[in-house]
Structure 1
Amino acid sequence: MILEHADIRIAPGRNAEFEEAINRGLNTVLCKAKGFINAKVMRGIESTERYLLLIEWESVADHNVGFRESPAFAEWRAIIGPFFAAPTVVEHFEATAAKA
Structure 2
Amino acid sequence: MILELADIRIQPGRQADFDAAIQRGVETVISQAKGFFGYKVNKGVESPERYLLMIWWETLENHTVDFRESPAFAEWRAIVGPFFAQPPQVEHFTLLAKSAEPR
Decide: shared fold, TM above 0.5.
yes
Deviations 1:25-81 (A, max 9, x none): 111101100000000110001000000000000010000000000000000000000
SS in 2 for 1:52: strand
What is the aligned partner in structure 2 of residue 57 from structure 1?
Answer: 57
- TM alignment of 1:44-83, pairs within 5 A: 44-83=44-83
TM-score, with length taken from structure 1: 0.98
Question: Could you tell me which residue of structure 1 aligns to residue 34 of structure 2?
Answer: 34
Give aligned pairs, total. Answer: 100
Q: 1:97 Cα shift?
A: 1.5
Cα root mean square deviation, aligned: 0.6
Unpaired segments ≥5 residues, structure 1: none
Corresponding residue for 2:12?
12
- Name the TM-score, length of structure 2 as normaliser: 0.95
Structure 2 gap segments, 5+ residues each = none
Distance (Å, rounded) in 2 between the aligned partners of 1:39 and 1:19:
14
Counterpart in 2 of 1:95? 95
